[in-house]
Structure 1
Amino acid sequence: MDMQGYSQIPEAKMAPVRSDLDDVLTNVLAHVGLQDPRDRPGAFKDTGDGAIFVMPAKDIARLVDPLLEHLHTALVRYDRERLANAPAIRLRAAVHVGPLALPDHCGDAINEVCRLLDSQVVRAGLTVAREHRGGFLAAVVSEAAFRRTVRAGRTPDLDEEHFLRATARVHGKTFEEPCWLFVPQMTPQALAPLISPEPLGGGGGTIAPTSLAGSNSPAGAVFQFTGEMTDTTVINTVGTMHIDRRRI
């Protein structure tokens, strides 16, 4: 997992906020009955603005459900209770499964989960969560982990309809893998048009995040309205207007 905007926090506040995050993680892991990886040699790597947890394969389903929902709830509680001058904690999380070599837990799975965590789709998911729900968490689950957890029926409170199927890509990397995006309190149908203007059909929802950078299409105004509008006038040039009356 990785904390959004950590490098922008004043240096004097970095250690306290990281300590607060560690406390949140400790409490959440204990609450869902998972062993803290910091208690096992080589199973925890501090990345400064986040961490890599290596968990036993038997715990993979619980990393998705109930951990993700409990983690978001804990972050919401932290935000209510934090001091006014303390920064909020918003996290990107990634869940993946794969073999690792002991004793140092090396292997492709570590590199792959880092790519997932850095992917455009989970970054966009956290932005959407913050802007449209005041949320604090976006998580991406690899296809391999999704098959062994959600699709296998091992997540009692989360099923496929809670996830947006997507493609994980990283700027400047050749990495491109199918994945599943989860944003607490948002459905795939609500997420898809906010992450990309061209959602594709599919199960709970399917999307391949796109970038307009380098596009040959002419620049134009983009309007996005998330509240109710009554007798509203928009002044500008509008080429094509798409109206989606679904509530987020």
Structure 2
Amino acid sequence: MKPSRASSRPLPPYRAILAVDAKDFTKLPGSVHEDTSAAIKTVVGSALHDAGLEAEWSDPFFFGATGDGFAVGLPPRILPFLLDPFPALLQERLAQRRNERPGEAPLRLRVSLHVGPLPADPAASSSTGNGAARNDTHRLLDADVVKEALRDVSPEIALVAMIISDRVFDDVVRERYAGLHPDNFVPVTARVAGKGFDQPAWLHLPAQPGRPFPQGSPQSDELTHFAETVRPTPFLGTNYGQAAQINHGGMHQSGGTTR
């Protein structure tokens, strides 16, 4: 008797998945959680609007709130703009918010970006868009290395830390669709304890103008110390520390569809 095999099924369209959460959200008093959640959505929406992405933001493939942030499904054709200028605009909006609230701890956000096939039903925005690509986007957001990025850099300097998947880097950054140079990203290993997640990824701080180490300098196999010193300058520079050794394969084919 021949073993049964699963039938093929259509591959869902590719989606860009943007996920956001706030540093130290659970340390805030419960009385301000609702207001902070609303503020996160507002400030991200403002940055996307100024990046020319208001139409996509207002009509996503899916939107899932997480309390301290959200994940949203967007057309893959806008991935370059989610890398530049969106993170820099988000840093600016958060800095403006901080300046308007002297004495308060600044709102600081982690951002992850990935792309992959996901089913989505816009009519059921809050309960659709589930799959491995979305899971990996959340794992990137939860990786120790991006949490350390904001922990080890002055809150007066870095308000945004972005981590992107190897696939996004290869398809969008390395191929120069995004306005940022590849050296604006630091290669890291994204790990999440207890989840079996261990993948190459790329870290970017909008407050940091470029890769912090010279070409050819020694690199460790992970980001062991993100910032030993903070040197405020006209370009809000910081010292990342050492970064992971680049050990990436060939080009990926995203096969994305436009919306």
TM-score normalised by the chain length of structure 1:
0.74
Matched with 2:222 is: 208
Structure 1 letter corresponding to 2:65: D
- Large movers: runs of 4+ above 4 Å: 224-227
- Which residue does the alignment assign to 2:12? none
Of 184, 199, 202 in structure 2, the residue corresponding to residue 180 of structure 1 is: 202
1:158-173 residue pairs with structure 2 within 5 A? 158-173=180-195
Q: Find the aligned partners of 1:41 and 1:164 in 2 and give their Cα distance.
A: 29
Instruction: Single out whichever of 74-83 and 63-72 deviates more from structure 2.
Output: 74-83
* Counterpart residue number, 2:80: 61
CA deviation profile, 1:103-126 (whole Å, cap 9, x unmatched): 221221000001000001111111
1:130 is aligned, of 154, 166, 182, to: 154
Question: Structure 1 residue aligned with 2:173, among 136, 150, 161?
Answer: 150
Aligned mate of 1:40, from 51, 59, 80 = 59
For 1:117, the equivalent position in structure 2 comes to 141
Structure-2 separation of matches of 1:138 and 1:200: 23
Give, in whole Å, the separation in 1 of the partners of 2:99 and 2:230: 24
Residues 39 and 11 from structure 1, CA distance in 2 versus in 1: closer, same or farther, beyond 3 angstroms? same
SS of residue in 2 equivalent to 1:88: coil
The one-letter code of the counterpart of 1:16 is D
Give the letter aligned to residue 128 of structure 1: D
Equivalents in 1 of 2:102, 2:168: separation in Å?
37
| Secondary structure, aligned partner of 1:129 | coil
1:139 equivalenced with 2:157 (yes/no): no
Look up the equivalent residue of 2:63 and give its one-letter code: F
| CA positional deviation for 1:225 | 6.4
Letter in 1 for 2:149: G
Counterpart contact for 1:37–1:43, Cα < 8 Å: no
Quote the offset at 1:36 in angstroms: 5.8
Matches of 1:73 and 1:66, distance apart in 2: 11
Q: Which has the higher contact order (CA 8 A, sep 6+)?
A: 2
Paired residues in the alignment total 202
Distance (whole Å) between structure 1 residues aligned to residue 212 and residue 57 of structure 2: 37
Whether the 8 Å CA contact 1:92–1:138 is kept in 2: the answer is yes
Specify which structure has the higher proportion of strand: 2
Give 1:26's aligned amino acid: G
Cα displacement string for residues 168-196 of structure 1 (whole angstroms, at most 9, x for unaligned residues): 00111211111110012334326xxxxxx
Q: Which runs of 5+ in 2 are unaligned?
A: 1-19, 122-127, 232-237, 240-259
Counterpart Cα distance in 1 of 2:105 and 2:136: 29
1:184 counterpart SS class: coil
The answer to whether the aligner puts 1:108 opposite 2:126 as a matched pair is no
Distance change (3 Å), C-alpha of 1:36 and 1:172: farther
Q: RMSD of aligned C-alpha atoms?
A: 2.4
CA–CA separation in structure 2 for the residues paired with 1:162 and 1:41 = 28
Deviates more, 1:56-65 or 1:100-109: 100-109
Find the aligned partners of 1:200 and 1:125 in 2 and give their Cα distance. 20
Taking every aligned residue pair, what percent have the same amino acid on both sides?
28
